Structure 1
Amino acid sequence: MPPLFIIDASGYLYRSYFAIRNMTNPEGESTNALFGFIRSLEKLMKEFSTEDIIAVFDGPKGGKQREAIYPEYKAHRAKAPPDLYYQIDWARHWCDLSGVPNLSLPEVEADDTIGAIAKWAKNIGREVYLCTSDKDLCQLVNGHVKVLNTFKDNLILDEKGVKEQFGVRPDQIIDYLAITGDASDNVPGVPGIGPKGAAKLLEEYGTLENVLDNAEKISAKKTKESLLANKENALLSKKLVSLIPDVDIPKDEKFFERKAPNHPELKAFYQKMNFVSLLKELDQETPKETSTADYQLVNDEASLKALIKTLQGAKEVSFDTETTSENPLRADLVGLSFAIEEGKAFYVPVNGALKPDKVLGTLKPVFENPDIGFYGHNVKYDLHLLKNVGIEVKNLSFDTILASYILNAHERRHNLDYLALTEFEKVKIPIQDLIGKGKSQVTMKEVSLEKVSEYACEDADYTLRLKKRFEKELKERGLLDILVDLELKLTPVLALMERHGIFLDTETLAPLKDKVLKELKTLTHEIIELAGEDFNLSSPKQLGQILFEKMGIHPPKKTSTGFSTDADVLEKLSEDHPIAKKVLEWRSLEKLRSTYIERLPEDINPRDGRVHPTFNQAVAATGRLSCQDPNLQNIPVRTELGREIRKAFRPEKKGWSYVSCDYSQIELRLLAHLSEDEALIKAFKNNEDIHQRTAADVMGVSLDEVTKEMRHQAKAVNFGVLYGQGDFGLARELGISRKEAADFIKSYFDRFPGVKKYIESCKEEARKTGRTKTLTGRERLIPEIDSKNGMIRQAAERLSVNTPLQGTAADLIKFAMIKIDRKLKERNTLGYMILQIHDELIFEVPDDEIPLFEDLVPRTMQSVWDLKVPLVADLKVGKNWKEC
């Protein structure tokens, strides 16, 4: 007979809730506890091949019997978070769909139900595993019943294990807990006697009653006094920790048998919860249908000729490239795949039976035919690969990664495998099945043509299917223009920037390494001195122990895994504790050292000696571009070291310079336009210093009377408004009281009522529609706006205000980049665009073209849109990035 596994489901859920953070479904509802619960149970069922199992949940109003005995029972325990409650119902629903028997009895706690099932199972001779981390249930351990703690590497406690861990036998656990008490359940116990003391007493006297009867004989004065003073509490505690007998449970063994899972319903449930990894695993368990796809390998002259004829007769073609590297500027082209109808695709190897020149020479005129639209998934990568072999796509018509991003900007994943799964329930061939991973990984060049062909054809086929679906949805939601007129036109502009890259002077950068290492060594010594002992500064856990345990500093924030030592916490502490300030300095220096000073030289492409960052269009939910490998957008400009790192970037050729042009206060200008606040509009039209004007208006003084401190405070409020900062945040930033901050914010909104009205309208629109929009119509879903979790909901409200501003600013500079690129090509300039740093563009320019750029760039940036306030772009020229 197989063992019976009894799951402490409530304990699993509670533990998962605090172990996993910030998981939500598309509706903005928390799913962290549910996901952790499912993962834990699936792991358990797989590792132990469970046949008989029961998941036990706390019943509604569980604990009433103990509350009747002791009204203060669990009175000190904080209420379960609101977003945990509904996950309990989902967990029971998952159990039903997965065929896992489950039980929740009214007014009965899970421990008591577990106890009743364990005793019944033992009496009929069943072997039982109690899957829990709750020490209370160790009282059930005997020859038939063991505790299995899956949170401690499947630690199994039998009678000997309980004795080793607690110092008492399982039948003494009740007495042990009665003495030690339980703060989480508000079980009083006997104050002053801990686990070791309790075990020692029970070792000598056997039971709680015997301990109390012999209290006068105990030599330890404090122990004796506490036992005599707390006799009633000890006996009460024993009643509270004893499992309640006579719980009515099912006693049919078939009830505990695991049933077959309902795959279709589980799939729908996982899709609703957005559990992608679980969807993939479920798909692998579901019987597969035979594929009907027609995927063809084109590897001879006749089939290539036939393919060319097919492509030339198409209006649009889905295509994809297979290569040797994720870095397009270091990759070799291995082959190309094409699709013009669902379920049918072709793969053409570049190094197959036909010579590369033959393949590429035949395909070149097809790609460069402006009457044929070509599209792909993350097509900027493919443009690079084609450019590497001398081919340019003349008619770029669609990109499914950009379409997915525009439709679902709040989603983090837009890769082809994910979209095929979520849109078509298709599990694509994993790339690891072809090239492996880790040290044994190979490139596509080394994989058999047949395997690469199937993989590549599948990519082109599902890109085509996604295109059909996404194009229809973009039209229906009025978003197609954002793809066609903005993102697709920007793609080749970014590709050109990436190909140009930027020159890094390693000789300028090299001395910074020694300087920073010296500063880090000094800071480390100073921090160790303040701490009083050596520790690993890179370890948040060790830092937390030093600050909050050894030094006794009050922790502003604690997580489920220990003390938080994030930047916010250290900023708060730094006002009164020098060690926190120095740790912040150390972290800042260490990040610049590891991310830039030592890493940047590794990013230089050996083919041309330049750094080629990648600009991502489908990452930031606001519409902003992001930058990686390396991320040059995050090099600080306000620190001396950051500026010295920027100095290492300079034009490669003599007689060249950098020209930078930066939108001035773009988000505040857009706030004026969108809010239509008359006072704000007037200030910008009069070309006033907006922070000085805000200070004058809010503080009731003339412009001439505004001090530097007043302007600083006004600037903090101006930008704080954009990011939903409240009185607490402003007070902390300015070092003033919360009342002063609240008064400042109120005065601001009294003076700029249009801004207040605009902010409230953004929140209201998000509540009504669940989304927010930029001036161009770009949407961002904000499902968390109705979250039952207050912190999540407030963050969503801040996004509803900031996204239209930041997103509109992002779209504005994208349009500017497209126009500038076109004008530079019309003038056939030697100078070119190399970087976009959010509101700033940087160009590498021969000195004799500087006057042209000084005129063309700011004029174009300032005339992109006609707003209610003027756009201003500030221009600088320098011999390196620092000077710009």
Structure 2
Amino acid sequence: MAKKATSQPLLAGFDDPAPAPAVAITPTPATILPTVPVDHAALDTHAVVVNEAALAKAPANEPLSLKGKRVYLVDAYSLIYQVFHALPEMTGPSGQPVGAAHGFVRDMLDLIENRGADLLIAAFDHPSATFRTELYTEYKANRQEMPVDLQPQIPLIKQFMDALGIPALALAGYEADDLLATLALQAHEAGAECLIVTSDKDCRQLITDNVRLYNIRKNEAMDAAGLLEVWGIRPNQVVDFQSLVGDSVDNVPGIPGIGPKTATTLLQKYETLEGVYEHLDELKGKQRENIEKGRESAFMSRDLVRLKADLELDFNWSIGLIGGMQPAVLAELNRHAGFKQLAKRMESLAAKFAGDALPTAPGPTHDFSSAEFVAKREIVASSPAAEVVSRPMVATADPWIVDYRTVATVEQLDELIEQMKQQKEIVIDTETTSLRARQAEIVGYSFCWTPGVAYYLPVRAPAGETVIDPQLALEKLRPVLEDPQIAKVGQNIKYDQLILRSAGVTLRGVAFDTMVADYLIDPGERSHNLDDLAVRHLGHQNITIDTLIGTGKNQKRMDEVPVAIITQYAAEDADVPLRLKAVLEPRLAEQDLLPLFHELEIPLIDVLAEMEFNGIRVDRERLKQLDEQFTLRIAALEKEIYEIAGAEFNIDSRLQLSKLLFEDLKLPIVKRTKTGPSTDVDVLEELARLHPLPAKIIDYRQNSKLQSTYVLALQELIHPGTGRVHTSFKQDVAATGRLSSQDPNLQNIPVRSEAGRAIRSAFLPGPDGWLLMTADYSQIELRVLAHFSGDVTLQQAFILDRDIHTQVASDVYGVPLEQVTREMRRNAKAINFGIIYGQSPFGLSKALDISQGDAAEFIEAYFSRLPGVEKFMEQVLLDCRRVGWVSTILGRRRPVQGVRDPRVQVNKRQRTLPERIAINTVIQGSAADIIKRAMINVHRRLAKEQLQSRLLLQIHDELVFEFPPDEQERLAQLVGEEMSTAAQLSVPLKVDVKTGPNWAACEVLE
């Protein structure tokens, strides 16, 4: 076995450029979680540092033959930065940034699964000074500090590598590239196929006949021929090429005035750097002058760019073999990060390499973000650790003993009903033929009130099986189902309500929903389905739906499954929620969430079920007209785009568009993705300032998306029996507490664009002669901000019913209200809304098309004139660091990790992702609480006053109703009262009420 450089596990012996804050995570019992490294002042410079799990794979005194093996060497930070900048923001269950970790780990899995890796080794830069900084103190002096949202992801990446058994190497005094050079040379000499995963051009000097540079995005490897095509030189000329040209990324000076083309020409003619100077007299003019003056710089640059391929490493190649995975640790890390899909891939890989797995016997446990990583600089100093309790993983032996029974006769059903009438609480679940409640038929019912004992009542089954008549069963069950005194428990019980409502039964007494309960406890979790809850909270693996009905072409309908088999599945679906309730209810109480659960989220289920059942009428003929209009508009845009481009191309092809923009039109590359230069909307908006084509592309994409997502899709979603679209409102998706909708998602229809208004015009009231009413909270998030911050300027503006953006502009610019210009108001509006989302000077500068300096000054002026806002934001962050979570006006909690101390930050305007999440959750989550309460109150008033008017939709801060004309005044008064009094704020809640014949035509009600 290779000698350890230190006894510390996982990259022990070196720290990262910017350590992550420490947040305690209690691990699953008997699960060994890896630690993160500590900073050691001195190390043997020839002792390569290796993570503990990788070392455990190396057999003592058994050198590995590399001949014929494929070796991947990964430049870790190069790849980490690549995925960080290429991928969209992604957060874990506790709000921590995890996008770069997800991308990097995904790439490692891809190398193992799909790229034929026999060995996989990663190299990291060591934080100690290198010999290069001794040669040239300005070396890499222009490098910016690691982005704040990347810093906390480095420990997580290393922990994943350790649990995957991937060696992570570092060496004091040297860079990762030097390790890669030495290992590549060894692999070359040993006859291995070596692929270096990096985007660093320095590594091009390492190319040989069996060492290539691998572009993981394009699945392409650069060899000597590829290098010749790109730079026009051989691998052994790369060092001299860079000595002439320099490297702005690493601040290598090279020779000023010598660019790549000149360097290529010189080396093609004179072979080496020495050769260039030996023939200096053959050069002319400014070129000769530059090269002559730059002699010292060129040779010094060569010492900087030449990689050390002769390091004496105490190293055993066996540690790079695929294997040594730790399934239990991987499962816990994936749960912590919220990586569901990656978890499945790792589980499969761990099973494949099970023979090589490391033992996971009980041992010392460690925090995910260990205190060993607490920063030495106050700017990232951590708060006292806030405990986040880990949930149990699947038990190795499932101890459940169950009694699941089929109710096969009317006599058995009667007996079951009599028993249920004696219960205070029962679990109910329905099995159906479709996930679309308005189109589904009931296959059977399951009930449970004693853990381990559950009943399945089939009403549809394969031919030849005995079942009870569906209508007879429903009528016999009606008294129990509609009895509000018998509490009903379920998982996503809104679906069961809709199923029963469609069958003519109103489910009353809904008291507990395990999906909603888990969502309140862990709002950052990406899944709250029953199978996941059973694993997470009970250590039990449910029978899966795929096991029951199959997948793909062989998939059955539920009523095609034999009763004996479906009984076990369906009864379990009733048993598990009852057991979950016993676990989740105390946790709701521990987090003071019971009032929010029982007074807001559970009553809301009835409201949402009613809204989904009602649906909203959509005019199919109007959609067909719009389809024709969109088709003509898109065709016209295509013609304009081709004229501007000078040629026809596939506008929907990102590759063809990228070539046109960046190669043909020579527009600057704004950012890159994993497949090349980005052409997303942010990039196109940036490029639209330089050329007319990007703006047309944006217009084309918007129209194409609206046509496919709404104009065409809505026609398919119109229910044939009701003529309405029945969207599904989701309570368990947005961590802030906001509702979302799907099938279709009506919340993303543009409000202010002409195309968006055209689509809204197809939404109509149901009965002929009725009208639609919209009731929209006016600037509710800013009013919530005014309430929480206590800022006098904001509060006075709302109390006096002034235009908030004009008022803020007046204060920030120091001019009277009547002198506020449209531009001033526009700027104030941008920062008013941007501040809620933690907008930086860079973000504001882009929004307003001004310099970052001007944007920074404007932000400073804003906070100086509205000091209450900044105090509120700092208090939110301080409280979050202290307790580990933020809360809304009604007590909704959201755990957030990685918040820094606002009192010691150098730049308070550069908010990290967790900090933006923390502040936004308090404001947006409180606004969500308020409109949910308003919905409940409106729903109850409508029932109490026996109005025909119906609540149909909730679109963020807006409610949509349909009503008969004679109820207009009463409905407007009722809605206005309930919405404006849904919360007692220090400023008024203002509601704008509009009515009209369709959604787009609603106008202010006088």
Structure 1 distance, partners of 2:292, 2:650, is 47
8 Å Cα contact 1:148-1:157 kept in structure 2:
yes
| Contact kept? 2:188, 2:194, Cα under 8 Å | no
More displaced 10-residue stretch of structure 1: 44-53 or 479-488: 44-53
SS at match of 2:882: helix
Cross-structure match for 1:335: 444
Residues matched between the structures, number: 879
SS state at 1:334 partner: strand
Please state if 1:324 is matched with 2:433: yes
Q: TM-score, normalised by structure 1?
A: 0.84
After superposition, give the CA deviation of every residue in 1:221-242 in whole Å (9 maximum; x if it has no partner): 9999999997877766665555
Aligned to 2:753: 639
Equivalent of 2:174, from 108, 118, 122? Answer: 108
Q: Which residue of structure 2 aligns with residue 463 of structure 1?
A: 577
Given the alignment of the two structures, is residue 132 of structure 1 paired with residue 197 of structure 2, yes or no?
yes
Q: What letter matches 2:967 in structure 1?
A: E
Query: Which residue is 1:841 aligned to?
Result: 959
Q: Is the 8 A contact 2:94 2:894 kept in 1?
A: no
Tell me how far 1:481 sits from its aligned partner.
1.2
Do residues 396 (structure 1) and 513 (structure 2) align? no
- 2:176 aligned partner, one-letter code: A
How far 1:818 sits from its partner (Å)? 1.6
Tell me if structure 1 keeps the 8 A contact 2:338–2:525: no
Alignment partner of 1:661 is 2:775: yes
What pairs up with 1:221-300 in 2 under 5 angstroms?
Answer: 243-244=307-308, 246-250=310-314, 260-281=324-345, 285=350, 289-293=396-400, 294=402, 296=404, 298=406, 300=408
Per-residue deviation, 1:473:
1.4
Q: Which residue of 1 aligns with 2:495?
A: 381
Query: Residue 484 of structure 1 corresponds to which residue in structure 2?
Result: 598
How many Å apart are 1:460 and its aligned residue?
A: 3.4
Q: Give the direction of change, closer, same or farther, for the CA distance of 1:141–1:343 in structure 2 (3 Å limit).
A: farther
Identify the match of residue 61 of structure 1 among 128, 133, 137: 128
**Range moving further from structure 2, 737-746 or 5-14:** 737-746
| Aligned 8 A contact 1:117 1:249 in 2 | no
Return the letter of the residue paired with 2:331. K
Over 3 Å counting, the alpha-carbon distance change for 1:38 and 1:346 in structure 2 is: farther
- Quote the residue 1:816 is aligned against: 934
Shifted more, 469-478 versus 68-77: the winner is: 68-77
Letter in 2 for 1:108: Y
Structure 2: runs of 5+ lacking an equivalent: 1-64, 355-394
Matches of 1:541 and 1:55, distance apart in 2: 31
Residues 772 and 780, structure 1, Cα contact 8 Å, conserved in 2 = yes
Cross-structure match for 2:885: 771
Task: Provide the C-alpha distance between the structure 2 equivalents of 1:77 and 1:708, rounded to a whole number of angstroms.
Answer: 41
| Counterpart amino acid of residue 882 in structure 1 | A
Aligned-partner Cα distance in 2 for 1:48–1:387: 53
The structure-2 alpha-carbon separation of the partners of 1:643 and 1:101, relative to structure 1 and needing over 3 Å to count, comes to: closer
SS at match of 1:7: strand
Q: Contact 2:100–2:153 at 8 Å: present in 1 too?
A: yes
- Hey, what's the Cα distance between the residues in 2 that align with 1:155 and 1:716? 44
Structure 1 residue 257 displacement after superposition: 5.8
Q: Structure 1 residue 218: deviation in Å?
A: 9.4
The more displaced of 1-10 and 175-184 is 175-184
* d(CA) in 2 for partners of 1:255, 1:733: 50
The residue correspondences of 1:132-531 to structure 2 (distance < 5 A) are 132-133=197-198, 146-147=211-212, 149=214, 151=216, 184=249, 208=272, 243-244=307-308, 246-250=310-314, 260-281=324-345, 285=350, 289-293=396-400, 294=402, 296=404, 298=406, 300-301=408-409, 308=417, 311-352=420-461, 353-357=466-470, 358-424=472-538, 426=540, 428-438=542-552, 441-449=555-563, 451-531=565-645
Q: How far, CA to CA, are the matches of 2:875 and 2:145 in structure 1?
A: 34
Deviation at 1:779, TM superposition (A): 2.3
Specify the code of the residue in structure 2 equivalent to 1:315: K
Distance 1:709 1:117 in 2: 60
- Provide the secondary structure at the position in 1 that maps to 2:933: helix
1:101–1:257 contact (8 Å) kept in structure 2: no
Code of the aligned partner of 1:861:
M
Q: How does 1:27-66 map to 2 (within 5 A)?
A: 29-46=96-113, 54-61=121-128, 64-66=130-132
Note the alpha carbon deviations across 1:753-772, whole angstroms, 9 max, x for none. Answer: 54454444334433433433
2:713 match:
599
Residue 606 of structure 1 aligns to a residue whose secondary structure is coil
Q: Match for residue 881 of structure 1?
A: 999
Structure with the higher fraction of residues in helix conformation: 1
Tell me which residue corresponds to 1:5.
Answer: 71
Please provide the CA RMSD for this pair. 4.5
Range 792-801 or range 736-745, more displaced: 736-745
Query: Would the aligned equivalents of 1:28 and 1:785 in 2 still touch at CA under 8 Å?
Result: no
CA contact (8 A) 1:121 1:128 kept: yes
* Residues 604-654 of structure 1: per-residue CA shift (max 9 Å, x gap): 111221111222222233322222222333333323333332222222332
Higher RCO structure (Cα 8 Å, ≥6 apart): 2
TM-score (norm 2): 0.75
| Contact 2:739 2:956 (8 Å CA) reproduced | yes
Residue identity matched to 1:264: A
Does the CA contact (< 8 Å) of 1:176 and 1:199 recur in 2? Answer: no
Letter in structure 1 aligned against 2:170: S
| Residues 657, 79 of structure 1: alpha-carbon distance in 2 compared, 3 angstrom cutoff | closer
- How far apart, CA to CA, are the structure 2 residues paired with 1:337 and 1:646? 41
| In structure 2, distance between residues paired with 1:664 and 1:824 | 23
Secondary structure of the residue aligned to 1:587 is helix
Q: Secondary structure of 2:764's match?
A: coil
In structure 2, the residue matched to 1:828 is 946
Letter in 1 for 2:107: S
Write out per-residue CA displacement over residues 280-321 of structure 1, whole angstroms, 9 at most, x where no aligned residue: 455565798454432635152376566556644543333333
CA shift for structure 1 position 472:
1.1
Cα distance in 1 for partners of 2:669, 2:202 equals 30
Residue 7 of structure 1 aligns with an amino acid whose one-letter code is: L
Cα gap change, 1:167/1:279 in structure 2, threshold over 3 Å: closer, same or farther? Answer: same
Aligned to 1:22: 89
1:762 & 1:21 partners in 2: Cα distance? 25
Unaligned runs of 5+ in 1: none
SS in 1 for 2:993: strand
* CA distance 1:224–1:318, shift in 2 (3 Å): farther
1:750 deviates by: 6.2
Whole-Å Cα distance in 1 between the matches of residues 849 and 307 of structure 2?
54
CA pair 578-857 structure 1, distance change in 2 beyond 3 A: same
| Residue identity in the other structure for 2:978 | T
CA distance in 2, matches of 1:139, 1:866: 68
- Shift in CA distance, 689/170, structure 1 to aligned 2, threshold 3 Å: closer
Structure 2 distance, partners of 1:180, 1:739, is 33
- State the secondary structure of the residue aligned to 1:492: helix
Report if the CA contact (8 A) 2:408-2:468 is conserved. Answer: no
SS at match of 2:938: helix
**In 2, are the aligned partners of 1:128 and 1:146 still within 8 Å (CA)?**
yes
**Residues 604 and 611 in structure 1, CA contact (< 8 A), matched pair in contact too:** yes
Is the 8 Å Cα contact of residues 166 and 199 (structure 1) preserved in structure 2?
A: no
Given that 2:423 and 2:449 are in contact with CA atoms closer than 8 Å, whether structure 1 keeps it comes out as yes
Deviation at 1:13, TM superposition (A): 4.1
Aligned-partner Cα distance in 2 for 1:847–1:46: 64
Distance 2:229 2:698 in 1: 44
